Structure 1
Amino acid sequence: MKQSSDMIPPLDKAPTRLSVSKDEVTCDVSESLNAFSKDEERRMVRKFDWMLLPPLAFMYLCNALDRGNTGNAKTDGWDVDIGLEGNQYYFLVMIFYVPFCLFGTPISLLVKRFPAARVLPLMMLGFGSMALCTAAAKNFSQVFAIRFFLGIFESAMLPGVVFYLSTFYKRDELASRVGIFYAAASISGAFSGLIAFGVFQIKHSKYYGWQFLFFIEGASTIIFSFFALLWLPRSPSRWFLLTAREKEIARIRILGDSSVAVDEQLNIKDAFRPFKDWRYGIWALISLSLGVPLASVNNFLPQIVASLGYSTIRTNLLTVAPNIVGTVALLILTFSSDHFRERSIHICIPLATAIVGFIILGVINPIADRHVAYFACFLLTMGAFAPSVLVASWYSNNTPSESRRAVVAAVMIAIANAAGLISTNVFRAQDAPKYVPALITSACFGAICLVLVASMGIYMRVENRRRNKAQGLNLTATGVETEHLSEGYRSPLFRYMY
């Protein structure tokens, strides 16, 4: 029976020494890798960076703005103007996550079956339209329906882009690129605060300020979706900006590091095979536990800042600096993670930072200790953003098959998004302004995630060493692709990136 390329054989079944020679193992890929220079590779990667990342980052910026603008609209009285009562606002935040979780995996299969470069802009068109509809909504029922469809259209955006980028970049390049892309979402809190500050200055006899907010953000999203549909390449092999040689270099790079095949056809049965491996169960728990503090910061940072007792305008302005600092921390951690080809420690550091922030906010009086509480908001953003990107890169790095990688990313991100249901249910109106139960819950889930990540990182380090000893080799996640890896021998020679 053929060994799955994602299921690395257990140590007790591993041979004491590979039955193939080093020359046989390296002949296919390493000779091809030596056929182009580092300068050629760097020039091509820079082309990816400049031509792919800016439009993708702007797409995700629009995604995050259209998802989270209700928080800023609420500071301008949106909930009062449309007649929301009690916990209805929190219920509207929560209902978004139901389709967001349910539809992420099936739509991600479409991202693999049909070109991601076509599916992603169509999704963008959909969630931009929902933002425009929100401006016209007049009651709870209408907004409920809009938020449900918004969740459908946004569900596969992040896993779709993570998969899409993994077909262009190697394992030690992916986290920093996903980090740049995701930075658009984390800095959206700053942009939304600035946009809201400016838009809410508009005085109109017919429209509310929050309606202009939805108009502007929704229309911008729709317009850019048409540009993205025309610009994004289906794959490196079909990109008109690449020369024939660059296309071949791109193919060899991915075969030698990230995938067992390039542009492979979708096999649904095989795509779900990784979930027979217990390691993916641990990654699922990690994704769920990191999702709670992330959703708490993404959805409720304006409310947390509002608990400091400032005016509406100043509250929106005060959300800007924490989001910018959190974005900088995200970029530093993701670039460092790629540089050192290490994931687990780089995930644990921000998790610990966020836990400290939640604890501080939970034990102090935010009115009496405003400066300390505001400092804790910086700790939240510095700690909440980076783990999501690094964990997504982590399991993608350790899933060589393109089809499996697309499904794994979709399922894991859906699980992380499901944590939003937990976050929105613990942020209750009766707990305002301190939201102590919500802060405690977020800190506890962050602590669980930290323990799981640290344990998985230790396991992978030990397992790599055990496999090297059993096979009589000295391979690492750094050297596999350039020295010892051939497409035909992926399973016994693959080493975890930990």
Structure 2
Amino acid sequence: MASEKHAVADAETHPSSSNEKVQTPAHLETEDAHFAAERGHAATDQYGHALVHFDPKAEAKLRRKIDLYIVPTVALLYLFCFIDRANIGNARLAGFETDLDLKGYDYNFLLSVFYISYIIFEIPSNVACKFFGPGWYIPTISLGFGACSIATAFVNTKEQAAGVRFVLGMFEAGMLPGIAYYLSRWYRRSELTFRLAMYIIMAPLAGAFGGLLASAILTLDKFGTLTSWRMIFAIEGIITVGLSLISFVTLTDRPATAKWLTQEERDLAIARVKSERVGQTKVLDGIDKKKLWLGIMSPVTLSTSFIFLLNNITVQGLAFFAPTIVAGIYPEKTTVMKQLFTVPPYIVGGFFTLMVPFLATHFDRRQIFIILSCPLTIVGYIIFLATSENTARYAACFLVAASCFSLGAITNSQVSANVISDTARSSAIGLNVMFGNIGGLISTWSFLPSDKPDYHIGNGLNAATNSVIFLTAIGVYFWMVRDNKKREGRSVEEELAGLSAEEVEDLDWKHPAFRWNL
């Protein structure tokens, strides 16, 4: 069938001298997109070259439409996912520890309980997301963690709080990898990084907005029978539940079921994603254990996941302890003012969380931006270690926030770009986020009560982890370049000879025509 497509393309380039009518390019593009979208037809040749070329204007129009219908919903859900996870830091300043009689390392224990379930359910949750479909699964887990936030408002003991935090981790486990996997159904490799950033930006914005929202809530005398920190959990949880119910209606599962697209737009949406998947005859394949394993064992998946583990020690540590760090810098300020002081660094972080992935998308390069993200973070933590001067340490918060959050988008798009099948993509993203959350678990013990107010252990740990990220990312970059050169010498015809279409699909990143995407 692929040869038939080449024949059609050749007929367009070299019209026959017969009286047969030659089709217009626009008509060809419509037919080609429909052909490539059909299940069972490959959209690339055996060398990985796309068989179909698309009208850039039609693609741009489609992207804008997808951006409008898809991104706002997932961004809002992730905003409150992060708020419902990190609002315990705001509650801490409002009497959470005192009312629950938490002592010593009890607060760190509660943070750890969340990450235990978060890590355990990471990959299973993303496989479940593929099995049930993101259009239903993501709203369902959002409803679950919204309910958990509300439940936290009614806990009275450490044990009750630990139980709710464990369940919260179960529901939130599928959110970050689920949305990343979901967006990979809609966007090309080069487009994905910036779209991931458009919802991952909600992590730093959650720090800013969460601080503002917590400050506003604490100005209330009471909310029903609830007062103080309990109002934070209840009100933010109710907002999350409302958004999740709306998302059951607004979140479309995949291009083929999008009623807001015309048939031609559905064909184009499917075909253009498929055109980057060498050896694949369908965009949404069935769950395959071999492909799941290949997604996990890709060298780029493993190395990038290690990088995200180290990065998340910084990101999650900042989320949970930013109010505590600010309280140490400005101990004389009121509780509301301490909350407000956490906002500006997150706003700066939000700007760079969009700008860096935008540049990565523009240049279709990710590894180099992982490398470039490290120096500012390292300098920020060196400042924390080197001085006790308040202004300098507060300025260091801006340096850290400006450079650490963008790796959430870049690492997930990097593992997505370096596997082929939909199944491998779900497990690769799941592993990346699982490793990231191991870093989150480590972060819960990085800022200890015995180390305050300067937190030399926590700041030293973060300076070290970002230095390791820097060196690892450089090493992986040169390995990818070298391995791509080795792959140039492989014979595609010889290695694929005698293999069935199914066996070719199962090769995934081991396909001889595949190249690592830098």
Structure 1 residue 221 corresponds to structure 2 residue 240:
yes
Structure 1 residue 346 corresponds to structure 2 residue 369:
yes
Helix, strand or coil at the partner of 1:230 = helix
Match for 2:142: what amino acid? M
Structure 1 residue 46 corresponds to structure 2 residue 64:
yes
Match for 1:123: what amino acid? I
Match for 1:290: what amino acid? N
Task: Give the Å deviation of 1:207.
Answer: 3.0
Helix, strand or coil at the partner of 1:100 = helix
Q: 2:393 aligns with which of 373, 391, 400?
A: 373
* Residues 155-179 of structure 1: per-residue CA shift (max 9 Å, x gap): 0101111000001000100000000
Helix, strand or coil at the partner of 1:497 = coil
Task: Give the Å deviation of 1:80.
Answer: 0.8
Q: Which moved more, 1:121-130 or 1:267-276?
A: 267-276
Supply the distance in 2 between the matched residues of 1:32 and 1:351 (Cα, whole angstroms).
39
Helix, strand or coil at the partner of 1:225 = helix
Supply the distance in 2 between the matched residues of 1:98 and 1:416 (Cα, whole angstroms).
12
- 8 A contact 1:255–1:487 mirrored in 2: no
Q: Which moved more, 1:315-324 or 1:487-496?
A: 487-496
* Residues 115-164 of structure 1: per-residue CA shift (max 9 Å, x gap): 11101100000000000001111111110100000000000101111000
* Unaligned segments of structure 1, at least 5 residues: 1-23, 473-485
Give the match for residue 75 of structure 1.
93
Q: 1:444 aligns with which of 464, 468, 479?
A: 464
Aligned pairs (5 A) from 1:228-377: 228-258=247-277, 260=280, 261-309=282-330, 310-365=333-388, 369-377=389-397
Match for 2:302: what amino acid? G
Q: 1:187 aligns with which of 201, 205, 212?
A: 205
Match for 1:428: what amino acid? L
Supply the distance in 2 between the matched residues of 1:201 and 1:489 (Cα, whole angstroms).
55
Task: Give the Å deviation of 1:229.
Answer: 1.0
- 8 A contact 2:300–2:418 mirrored in 1: no
Task: Give the Å deviation of 1:291.
Answer: 2.0
Supply the distance in 2 between the matched residues of 1:110 and 1:276 (Cα, whole angstroms).
20
- 8 A contact 2:119–2:437 mirrored in 1: yes
Give the match for residue 395 of structure 1.
415
- 8 A contact 1:123–1:153 mirrored in 2: yes
Task: Give the Å deviation of 1:492.
Answer: 2.5
Give the match for residue 150 of structure 2.
132
Supply the distance in 2 between the matched residues of 1:391 and 1:28 (Cα, whole angstroms).
24
- 8 A contact 1:292–1:446 mirrored in 2: no
Scaled by the length of structure 2, the TM-score of the pair is 0.84
Match for 2:220: what amino acid? I
Helix, strand or coil at the partner of 1:136 = coil
Give the match for residue 30 of structure 2.
none
Match for 2:363: what amino acid? F
- Shift in alpha-carbon separation, 1:27–1:279, aligned structure 2, 3 A: closer
- Shift in alpha-carbon separation, 1:125–1:383, aligned structure 2, 3 A: same
* Residues 408-462 of structure 1: per-residue CA shift (max 9 Å, x gap): 1111211110112211123211111111101111111111111111111122223
Match for 1:286: what amino acid? I
Supply the distance in 2 between the matched residues of 1:281 and 1:172 (Cα, whole angstroms).
21
Helix, strand or coil at the partner of 1:265 = coil
Q: 1:175 aligns with which of 193, 202, 205?
A: 193
- 8 A contact 2:51–2:275 mirrored in 1: no
Task: Give the Å deviation of 1:470.
Answer: 6.0
Supply the distance in 1 between the matched residues of 2:363 and 2:237 (Cα, whole angstroms).
40
Supply the distance in 1 between the matched residues of 2:295 and 2:211 (Cα, whole angstroms).
41
Aligned pairs (5 A) from 1:461-480: 461-468=481-488
Task: Give the Å deviation of 1:471.
Answer: 6.7
Helix, strand or coil at the partner of 2:382 = helix
Q: 1:122 aligns with which of 118, 122, 140?
A: 140
Q: Which has the higher contact order (CA 8 A, sep 6+)?
A: 1
Supply the distance in 1 between the matched residues of 2:189 and 2:63 (Cα, whole angstroms).
13
- 8 A contact 1:258–1:397 mirrored in 2: no
Helix, strand or coil at the partner of 2:235 = helix
Task: Give the Å deviation of 1:191.
Answer: 0.3
- 8 A contact 1:423–1:442 mirrored in 2: no
- Shift in alpha-carbon separation, 1:462–1:223, aligned structure 2, 3 A: same
* Residues 358-386 of structure 1: per-residue CA shift (max 9 Å, x gap): 11112211xxx111111000011112101
Helix, strand or coil at the partner of 1:172 = helix
Aligned-residue CA RMSD in angstroms? 2.2
Match for 1:330: what amino acid? T
Aligned pairs (5 A) from 1:20-35: 25=45, 30-33=50-53
- 8 A contact 2:374–2:466 mirrored in 1: yes
- Shift in alpha-carbon separation, 1:105–1:28, aligned structure 2, 3 A: closer
Supply the distance in 1 between the matched residues of 2:490 and 2:113 (Cα, whole angstroms).
51
Q: Which moved more, 1:389-398 or 1:280-289?
A: 280-289
Match for 1:285: what amino acid? F
Supply the distance in 2 between the matched residues of 1:277 and 1:191 (Cα, whole angstroms).
37
Task: Give the Å deviation of 1:66.
Answer: 0.3
Q: 1:416 aligns with which of 436, 454, 467?
A: 436
* Residues 332-368 of structure 1: per-residue CA shift (max 9 Å, x gap): 0000001001111211222221111111112211xxx
Give the match for residue 93 of structure 1.
111
- Shift in alpha-carbon separation, 1:494–1:28, aligned structure 2, 3 A: closer
Q: Which moved more, 1:266-275 or 1:374-383?
A: 266-275
Give the match for residue 56 of structure 1.
74
Give the match for residue 16 of structure 1.
none
Supply the distance in 2 between the matched residues of 1:203 and 1:348 (Cα, whole angstroms).
48
Give the match for residue 21 of structure 2.
none
Q: Which moved more, 1:117-126 or 1:83-92?
A: 83-92
Helix, strand or coil at the partner of 1:272 = helix
Supply the distance in 2 between the matched residues of 1:226 and 1:188 (Cα, whole angstroms).
20
Task: Give the Å deviation of 1:298.
Answer: 1.8
Larger-Rg structure: 2
Supply the distance in 1 between the matched residues of 2:417 and 2:381 (Cα, whole angstroms).
30
* Unaligned segments of structure 2, at least 5 residues: 1-43, 493-504
Task: Give the Å deviation of 1:211.
Answer: 1.6
Give the match for residue 14 of structure 2.
none
Scaled by the length of structure 1, the TM-score of the pair is 0.88
The count of corresponding residues between Structure 1 and Structure 2 is 457
- Shift in alpha-carbon separation, 1:142–1:208, aligned structure 2, 3 A: same
* Residues 263-315 of structure 1: per-residue CA shift (max 9 Å, x gap): 21111343113444444332332232222112211221111111112331111
* Residues 3-42 of structure 1: per-residue CA shift (max 9 Å, x gap): xxxxxxxxxxxxxxxxxxxxx9389974432xx4111111
Give the match for residue 120 of structure 2.
102
Give the match for residue 432 of structure 1.
452
